[in-house]
Amino acid sequence: MSSPVVGIVANPISARDIRRVISYAGGLQITDRANMVLRILAGMAATGIKKTVIMPENAGLRGHLMRALTRSKNAGDGHFPEIRTLDMPVTGDATDTARAARIMREMEVAAIVVLGGDGTHRVVVANCGDIPIAGVSSGTNNAFPESREPTVTGLGVGLAVTGQVPPGIAFTANKRLDVMVNGSLEIALIDVAFVRERFVGSRAIWKTECFHELFVTFGSPGGIGMSSIAGLVAPVSRSDRFGRRIVFESPETASFAVRASIAPGLIAPVGIADVQTLQFDQPITPETRAGSIAFDGEREVTFGKADEVLVTLRDGAFRTIDIEACMAHAADKGCLVEQAEHQTKLKQVKGG
């Protein structure tokens, strides 16, 4: 059997927006991103992955990668899979991510590892179809991708796509929010916020006085970003069979307000007018009549009274690789154990 190919989408322009100025959001140097990719590659190599493809970009990531791979090869150490850059034009914005995800879907890669925050993941999911993704948190707001050492993500992805971990354990189905605007589809992985500002501007949303309405797929009290509001008011897990809708009003007039971490470094009171449960596949017309729609924390679309907007919660909309489950399975089955007698010993220990 031919070796599975894994795609890598490392977005060099994530973690660059206005939130660095308004609330000390983190940055991630290009060199660090490149090193994260290398660690992912190292993890995948250890599980037998031989081929990878990566999204091209013009922000210096590729240069770092190639230099590191050449040096490693010259030095005779490091065993990295082959890394091929997709042949596609580079615009330097999110359309690169979308195009790369589409190409990877077309070439039927076994999985896509995504380096970015919620925004990058959203774009990949919107374009990758049924290809499973594994997220590496490297964006501004990272509610969707978990914090994990990329080496381990690489290992987990490798174990999953090489079949060492059964698909039933390795892959998880996820909820999604679909937003139809005059028949045109946009998606969100975590939250859709309706705000009164009717311009996209610098995309991030942080002016609570403009918040109007929020839909979430999940919201954890320990989360960050808009979904944390739901997390603090009425938590929903990634696996719960429903979502939430929250309608805001001014903290002065609302029956109660909650101090939520609406962005990294930004905690503000948000007045709550109403909380509802969202069921799957039931289109809902938002109360908001005009403004803009933020998907996973970033304004993307503006709309007015004449525009038709519908929000629907979807089940099983895309697949992710459950790294924790993969690693647990690997430990249980000794996937990463090299000598048989040791395996026996380990079983004895486990047996207690």
Tell me the closest approach of the beta carbon of residue 28 to another protein, in angstroms. 8
Residue 22, SS3?
helix
Asked if residue 285 binds another protein (CB under 8 A), the reply is no
Identity of the residue, 182 or 279, whose beta carbon is nearer to another protein in the bound complex: 182
∠11-166-218 over CA atoms, to 5°? 50
Residues 52-81 that bind another protein (CB under 8 A): 58-60, 63-64
Q: Which of 74, 87, 168, 199 binds another protein (CB under 8 A)?
A: 199
Q: In whole angstroms, what is the distance from residue 7 CA to residue 75 CA?
A: 26
Q: Count other C-beta atoms under 10 Å from residue 125's C-beta.
A: 26
Q: In whole angstroms, what is the distance from residue 310 CA to residue 245 CA?
A: 13
Q: Count other C-beta atoms under 10 Å from residue 147's C-beta.
A: 8
Of the CA atoms within 13 Å of residue 266, those in its CB half-sphere come to 23
Positive/negative CA dihedral, 89, 114, 172, 41: positive
- Identify any residues that bridge with 148 across adjacent strands, giving them in sequence order: none
Asked if residue 287 binds another protein (CB under 8 A), the reply is no
Piece in contact with another protein (CB under 8 A), picked from 118-126, 198-206, 211-219, 332-340: 198-206
| 8 close to 150: Cβ distance less than 8 angstroms | no
Q: Which of 70, 95, 182, 237 binds another protein (CB under 8 A)?
A: 182
Asked if residue 117 binds another protein (CB under 8 A), the reply is no
Asked if residue 302 binds another protein (CB under 8 A), the reply is yes
Q: Which of 213, 296, 298, 300 binds another protein (CB under 8 A)?
A: 300
Q: Which of 130, 307, 324, 332 binds another protein (CB under 8 A)?
A: 307
Tell me the closest approach of the beta carbon of residue 299 to another protein, in angstroms. 10
Give which of 285, 283, 289 is closest to 195, Cα–Cα: 289
Asked if residue 88 binds another protein (CB under 8 A), the reply is no
CB proximity list for 246: less than 8 A, separation 6 or greater: 213, 214, 215, 216, 229, 230, 233, 234, 272, 274, 275, 276
Piece in contact with another protein (CB under 8 A), picked from 7-15, 38-46, 129-137, 337-345: 7-15
Q: In whole angstroms, what is the distance from residue 134 CA to residue 175 CA?
A: 15
Asked if residue 191 binds another protein (CB under 8 A), the reply is no
Piece in contact with another protein (CB under 8 A), picked from 122-130, 167-175, 192-200, 255-263: 192-200
Q: Which of 7, 9, 17, 161 binds another protein (CB under 8 A)?
A: 17
Alpha-carbon 210 to chain mean position:
25
Tell me the closest approach of the beta carbon of residue 285 to another protein, in angstroms. 14
- Residue 126 exposed, middle or buried by CB count within 10 Å (0-12, 13-18, 19+): buried
Total count of residues recorded for the chain: 352
Identity of the residue, 94 or 325, whose beta carbon is nearer to another protein in the bound complex: 94
∠17-18-20 over CA atoms, to 5°? 85
Asked if residue 20 binds another protein (CB under 8 A), the reply is yes
Q: Which of 88, 290, 328, 337 binds another protein (CB under 8 A)?
A: 290
Residues that bind another protein (CB under 8 A): 12-13, 15-18, 20-22, 24, 27, 29-31, 58-60, 63-64, 92-93, 181-182, 184, 196-203, 290-291, 300-307
